[in-house]
Chain A
Amino acid sequence: MRTTKPRTIVVPEDGAAMLADAIRRVEQPSRRVFLQRSLTLGGLGLLTGCTPDSEASIERALASVSRFNDRAQAFLFDPTRLAPTYPDSMITRPFPFNAYYGEDEVRVVDGDAWRLELSGLIADRKPWTLAALRALPQQSQVTRHICVEGWSAIGKWGGVPFSHFLRQVGADLGAKYVGFKCADDYFTSIDMATALHPQTLMALTYDGQTLPPRYGYPMKLRMPTKLGYKNPKHIQAIFVTNTYPGGYWEDQGYNWFGGS
């Protein structure tokens, strides 16, 4: 999904500094971009005499339907229903790479220096090292990754069940949102119900090996109940909040819930 300019490579030395950097540098695409993109029927849009005002109100209408769809999806979400799992033989090889930049621009994070920063409605906000995460109980899954573009691929991820981690750090499980900031300036957020789903995984391995940079080293949040753009890679920071955090693609007009 390459529709915006790629970022420059950042090699973080300190998690807190990285967080501040990411917040500053994250691009907030103007609503006008979505405006210009949202209504196109070849030249027919011009012929019908659509003014910028009517385009703006169409965009607002579509956005409010998207928010309604968030509520509909929350209603349809069954916290006990598991996504289908598959045998190892069905893993898609090679598993596709996808990001808003090319594979040659993948961030290479220093795993020794990396610290997972925690903030917001969490009791124990001490940062986590990779080693500490690897010492937690691990689970593995072979599930289907579905991209919003339409394609899908089966992959194998291993790591810490997110619900276990959230309970361990004393996160407020009644809060609405869990947000993520990533090393590649990507950011997104999810609903608490999905965060607590049994298949939501802080993925540290892919196909039995350490998660490689192109799939999100050192850590990705794997959710087979959500589309690919909701599964953030190279996570630097996690926060729990009741204030809507948005997301890289969601702020540009993609649906926030993004459930599969």
Chain B
Amino acid sequence: MNGPAAVIRPAWLRTTHWLNAVAVLLLVTSGWRIYNATGFLGLTIPPALTLGGWLGGALAWHFAAMWLLAGNGLLYLALNLVSGRLRRQFFPIPPRLVVRDLAAALRGRLSHADPRRYNSVQRLAYVFVMVDSIVLVLSGLVLWKSVQFPLLRTLVGGYEGARRVHFFAMAGLCGFIAVHVVMVALVPRTLLAMLRGR
């Protein structure tokens, strides 16, 4: 299976990717409205960017979309694992190559000739977002039910610790999304590949 006409993004990957994107959009924007109820880190997120209209609405969206992220996210991870794609596409990530590829990218010289393979910066970024999403879900479980998940609660530093872990993991996710979207805009072929598979 070589050449530009071959499917390089299987259907299950494209579907789970876009469902994750929808789930994340709903969770982040409703999450921002929930955060604004206390604004405990000193900043307020502009209400026009938030989903839900009021705290009750934001919570309703948040606790609906969480099922989509959890179910679809688990499916994505499971399929990647079982198909061997996780190991093939994302590992290894030698630090030396990350530095080299990042330097090349910043100079505009990172090649994207073969869209089937991820460079080392991509591998690191995508593994980061997988881990970060898991941190979001686990800290979210503690926020939702700190009494019923005592081990997780201890891991994230108690209920109050979970608030901060959840927020900063969200900030990391938003940082990833910003860079990801810019990168896709710079290499539009990748968007086509994620939409139609080739």
Choice from A77, A150, A253 contacting B148 with Cβ under 8 Å: A77
> Are A150 and B53 neighbours in the complex by a CB distance under 8 Å?
no
| A41-B29, A62-B61, A146-B159 known; A249+B56 contact, CB < 8 A | yes
Q: CA A254 – CA B56 in complex, angstroms?
A: 5
Contact present for A253 and B57 (CB under 8 Å): yes
The answer to the question of B59 belonging to the interface, with a C-beta cut-off of 8 Å to chain A, is yes
Expressed in whole angstroms, the minimum distance between the Cβ of B166 and any Cβ of chain A is: 10
- Across the interface, which residues of A come within 8 angstroms of B57, CB to CB? 34, 37-40, 62, 253
Say yes or no: is B150 at the interface (Cβ < 8 Å to chain A): yes
Quick one: given A43-B48, A62-B64, A151-B38, are A260 and B145 in contact (CB under 8 Å)? Answer: yes
**Distance to closest chain B CB from A141 (angstroms):** 13
Q: How far is the CB of A215 from chain B (nearest CB, A)?
A: 20
The 8 Å CB contact of B67, one of A65, A225, A259, is A65
Interface residues of B in 152-166 (CB under 8 A from A): 153, 158-160, 163
Q: A150 contacts B163, CB within 8 Å?
A: yes
| Residue pair A152, B160 in contact (C-beta under 8 Å) | yes
With a cutoff of 8 Å between Cβ atoms, the chain B residues found around residue A253 in the complex are 56-57, 60
Whether the Cβ atoms of A65 and B63 lie closer than 8 Å is yes
List the A side residues contacting B64 at CB < 8 Å: 61-62, 65-66
Contact of B145 (CB < 8 Å), options: A63, A73, A254: A73
Render B48-86 as a binary contact track against A, CB cut-off 8 A, 1 for contact: 111111111101110110010000000000000000000
What 0/1 pattern do residues 29 to 42 of A give for CB contact below 8 A with B? Answer: 00000101111111
Query: Number of A residues whose C-beta is below 8 Å from B?
Result: 41
- Would you call B54 and A37 a contact (CB within 8 A)? yes
Cβ contact within 8 Å between A76 and B55: no
Query: How many Å lie between the Cα of A77 and that of B143 in the bound state?
Result: 15
Q: Which of B29, B54, B60, B147 contacts A66 (CB 8 A)?
A: B60
Tell me if B146 is interfacial: C-beta within 8 Å of chain A: yes
| Contact residues in A for B54 (Cβ distance below 8 Å) | 3, 37
Closest to B49 in A: A42
Interface class of chain B by DSSP? helix
Kindly identify which residue among A38, A42, A65 contacts B48, using a CB–CB cutoff of 8 Å: A42
Q: Find out whether the CB atom of B145 lies under 8 angstroms from the CB atom of A38.
A: no
Contact residue among A34, A41, A76, A150 (Cβ-Cβ distance under 8 Å from B38): A150
Interface contact A260-B146, CB-CB below 8 Å: yes
The smallest C-beta distance from B136 to any residue of chain A, in angstroms, reads 16
Query: From residue B14, how far is it (CB to closest CB) to chain A in Å?
Result: 23
Per-position binary interface string of chain A over residues 71-83, scored 1 when its CB falls under 8 Å from any chain B CB and 0 otherwise: 0010011100111
B63 adjacent to A66 (CB under 8 Å): yes
Q: Answer whether residue B37 sits at the interface, using C-beta atoms and an 8 A cutoff.
A: yes
A112 at the binding interface (Cβ < 8 Å): no
24 contacts between A and B (CB under 8 A): A34-B57, A37-B53, A38-B53, A38-B57, A39-B57, A40-B51, A40-B57, A41-B29, A62-B60, A63-B60, A65-B63, A76-B148, A81-B150, A84-B147, A84-B158, A149-B38, A149-B55, A150-B163, A152-B160, A224-B147, A249-B56, A252-B56, A253-B60, A255-B59
6 A-B pairs with the lowest CB-CB distances in the bound complex, closest first: A40-B53, A42-B48, A253-B56, A37-B53, A149-B37, A65-B64
